[in-house]
Amino acid sequence: MSFALLERALELDRSDPLSAKRAEFEIDDARIYLDGNSLGALPRAAAERLQKTVQEEWGKDLIGSWNEHAWIDLPITVGEKVARLIGAAAGQTVVCDSISVNLFKLLSFALSLRPDRTRILSERSNFPTDLYVAQGLQKLLGEGRCEVRTVEKEALENSLDESVAVLMLTHVDFRSGRIHDMAELTRRAHEVGAVVIWDLAHSAGALPVALDDCAVDLAVGCGYKYLNGGPGAPSFVYVASRHQQSAQQPLSGWMGHAAPFAFDPDYRDGEGILRFLCGTPPILSLSALDAALDVFQGVELRALRAKSIGLCEFFLEAVLSSEVLGDFELASPRNAEERGSQIALRHDDAYAICRALLENGVTPDFRAPDLVRFGFAPLYNRYVDVARAVHTLERITSSRLYLEPRFAERTKVT
Ligand SMILES: *Cc1c(COP(=O)(O)O)cnc(C)c1O
């Protein structure tokens, strides 16, 4: 590694206003973790909270904990902590279920808002589960009521016309990291009378989001990526206040009922956003996410974004100026303003390169068919990690180490 690069990294770390945040995470210094966009690192407070929830609350207070430790309110209290990160005023965000399940609820509701239209418009490169859920709804309702149309990004604006009931998009593309202009697309969709659903899986906790200011209708996002809630942490759902009184969603479980403990045989909608809950909340996961979100206390989202851009730019400049990384093609926008907190590099041997990086202490991830994806978590990644990751990538590439047969073996999760 060039000393100049390392020196600059150390300098940037010294002047990083977020540098103290790293100590709030359980991080193995021997591993450079650049996959916080798939599974965030473990906040120490989340580990402690899990311990407490298991030993004291579950272990000792048992069922009384629903009241005594306010377990029953966690979907709302955690939702309000997420709200600050996504630009949502109080009373519009709740945490429950997975993104997939929540999209089913939101898509159904959104379609019901436009009874004379049938089309859900999305992007072909959207995260597959988002498309699969829409396709499932199409199968359930029949094409006469729900018809999914996917187009390339370039065709989105031209495809937005008065036949569209719902525009469903992911804010930051999971492969390239490209950011959609949320304000502009939401405005365009509203102009033709469509309802908008944004998926914030790669946005929340990585960059500022302004749902209320953009007049977004509905949104979902992920608890286990940049929010660091742990594997399988529940997702969040946002429903703008103006839609809540009319909101109906088909997974009308008892936690969404106006009075769950009245055990009424007939469903009645709960107050506002509460009706988007379905079954019993996963208290262990919610507790971990609750504690994980406290790491964001005192963190300015502008500072978070500045650090994220700093890390990405530092990485890109080093890669693009490297004499041995010429075989990689940049699959993310070059302009930082058009990117989230990740960089994807294209290479024919992307899979083997990922495996070789893993064996050499760097964790990126592979996205089929040919991308090595590096995620930069501004709360705990350092510039020095980035310098070392680039150095490892150079070493693996110039030595052709990645061509060794063991790196070609496929794992179940990539
Ligand atoms: C990670 C991710 C999901 C995950 O969905 P789950 O149902 O919570 O597993 C959905 N959409 C996008 C865009 C993602 O990046």
pLDDT in tens, 9-58: 999 999 999 999 999 999 999 999 999 999 999 999 999 999 999 999 99
Task: Tell me what pLDDT residue 2 has.
Answer: 78
Q: Residue 150 contacts by C-beta under 8 Å, 6 or more apart in sequence?
A: 121, 122, 123, 124, 126, 131
Q: How far is the CA of 117 from the centre of ligand 1 (A)?
A: 27
**Is the pLDDT assigned to residue 1 strictly greater than 80?**
no
Rounded Cα gap, residues 46 and 3, in angstroms: 37
Whether 79 contacts 97, CB under 8 Å: no
Q: Residue 3's pLDDT is what?
A: 86
User: What is the mean pLDDT of the segment spanning 305-310?
Assistant: 98
313, 319, 362: which is closest to 339 by C-alpha? 313
- 410 — pLDDT class (breaks 50, 70, 90): confident
Q: Tell how far the Cα of 102 is from the centroid of ligand 1, in angstroms.
A: 10
Residue of 225, 339, 367, 388 with catalytic role: 225
225 catalytic? Reply is yes
Q: Is 202 in the pocket of ligand 1 (CB under 6 A)?
A: yes
Q: What is the pLDDT of residues 327-355, one digit of tens each?
A: 999 999 999 999 999 999 999 999 999 99
Residue 87 has pLDDT above 70, yes or no: yes
What confidence category does residue 90 fall into, taking pLDDT thresholds of 50, 70 and 90?
A: very high
Q: Is the CB of 280 under 6 A from ligand 1?
A: no
The single residue of 224, 296, 351, 380 carrying the catalytic annotation is 224
Query: In the prediction, which pLDDT does 24 show?
Result: 98
**pLDDT more than 90, % of the chain:** 97
> pTM (2 decimals)?
0.97
Q: Which of 101, 127, 226 to mutate to test the pocket of ligand 1 (most atoms within 8 A of CB)?
A: 127
> What local confidence, expressed as pLDDT, does residue 149 receive?
98
Neighbour count for residue 398 (Cβ, 10 Å): 12
- The answer to whether 224 is a known catalytic residue is yes
How far apart are alpha carbons 92 and 216 in whole angstroms? 11
Q: How far is the CA of 129 from the centre of ligand 1 (A)?
A: 7
- Residue 102, phi then psi, degrees to nearest 5: -65, -30
Which segments of 192-255 are extended strands (E)? Answer: 195-199, 218-221, 235-239
257: left (phi over 0), alpha (psi -120 to 50) or beta: beta
Please determine, for residue 223, whether its predicted confidence score (pLDDT) is greater than 80: yes
In ligand 1, which atom is closest to the CA atom of 38? 1
Closest ligand 1 atom, residue 170 Cα: 13
Whole-number pLDDT of residue 121? 98
Segment 84-93 shows an average pLDDT of 98
Phi, psi of 337 (to 5 degrees): -65, -20
State the distance from the centre of ligand 1 to the C-alpha of 87, rounded, in angstroms: 20
For residue 263, report the phi and psi dihedrals to the nearest 5 degrees. Answer: 50, 40
Q: What is the mean pLDDT of the chain?
A: 97
Total number of residues shown for the chain? 414
Looking at residue 340, what is its pLDDT?
98
For 352, counting Cβ atoms within 10 Å of its Cβ (0-12 exposed, 13-18 middle, 19+ buried), the class is buried
- Is the CB of residue 34 less than 8 Å from the CB of residue 373? no
CA 57 to ligand 1 centroid distance, Å: 30
SS3 306: helix
The pLDDT, as a whole number, for residue 372 is 98
| Average pLDDT of the segment spanning 152-169 | 97
Q: Is the CB of 170 under 6 A from ligand 1?
A: yes
Name the active-site residue from 275, 355, 373, 382: 373
Both tokens of residue 154? 């370039």
Is 130 close to ligand 1, i.e. is its CB under 6 Å away? yes
Please report the DSSP string for 11-69 in residue order: HHHHT-TTGGGGGGEE--TTSEE--TTTS--EEHHHHHHHHHIIIIIIIIIGGGHHHHT
Catalytic-residue membership of 132:
no
125 C-beta closer than 6 A to ligand 1: no
Q: Is the CB–ligand 1 distance for residue 342 below 6 Å?
A: no
